[in-house]
């Protein structure tokens, strides 16, 4: 059972710059920041709904819909792109049967581009749920996906 939204708001409302930590806490607890959460968050921080929505929509990290049971993220930042993440993303899309920003119809998996996983020296990188994988090639991809029980 996730922490109630009001409790999370109370924990962060008096922090300097507390909106970002709150949004991270909400996403960690619920998996996404639902549109109906924007108003209570705005009230809790004495902000407009537009200001809160603007932060949520600006950062690719925040989801506004529930993710699949498994979340596959492929790094699209400069170092990973230079080392082949475009081809890797295309291979992941083909194997999962979905495009970036989509969730499979059965809710099993979501595919998200991300903009740096902190593994620039070991590019290209990807993450499956909380597990990081470095130097992922299309040849290694089946093992990566099977290791986390993603139906390819």
Residue 1: pLDDT band (50, 70, 90) is confident
Residue 7: pLDDT band (50, 70, 90) is very high
Pick the CATH number of 70-147 from 2.10.109.10, 3.40.1190.20, 3.40.30.10, 3.30.1280.10: 3.40.30.10
**Across 73-101, average pLDDT:** 94
pLDDT score, position 150: 55
pLDDT score, position 147: 63
Apex CA 33: angle with CA 104 and CA 106, to 5°?
Answer: 15
Q: Are 73 and 85 in contact (CB under 8 A)?
A: no
Apex CA 110: angle with CA 49 and CA 58, to 5°?
Answer: 30
**Across 100-119, average pLDDT:** 93
Enumerate the known binding-site residues for [2Fe-2S] cluster: 75, 80, 116, 120
Q: How far apart are CA 76 and CA 123, in angstroms?
A: 10
Sign, Cα dihedral of 135, 140, 143, 145:
positive
Sign, Cα dihedral of 85, 80, 76, 67:
positive
Asked if pLDDT for residue 149 goes beyond 80, the answer is no
Q: Domain-by-domain residue ranges, the chain?
A: 5-58, 70-147
Enumerate the known binding-site residues: 75, 80, 116, 120
């Amino acid at each position: 059972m996730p922490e109630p939204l009001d409790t999370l708001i109370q924990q962060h409302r008096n922090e300097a710059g507390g909106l970002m930590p709150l949004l991270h806490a909400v996403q960690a607890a619920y998996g996404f920041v639902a549109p109906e959460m924007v108003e209570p968050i705005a009230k809790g921080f004495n902000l407009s709904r537009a200001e809160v929505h603007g932060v949520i929509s600006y950062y690719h990290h925040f989801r506004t819909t529930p993710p699949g049971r498994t979340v596959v993220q492929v790094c699209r930042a400069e170092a990973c792109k230079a080392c082949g993440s475009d081809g890797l993303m295309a291979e992941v899309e083909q194997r999962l049967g979905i495009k970036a920003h989509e969730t499979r119809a059965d809710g099993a998996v979501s595919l998200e581009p991300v903009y740096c996983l902190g593994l620039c020296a070991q590019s290209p990188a990807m993450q499956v749920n909380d597990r990081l994988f470095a130097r992922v090639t299309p040849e290694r991809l089946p093992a990566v996906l099977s290791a986390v029980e993603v139906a390819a």
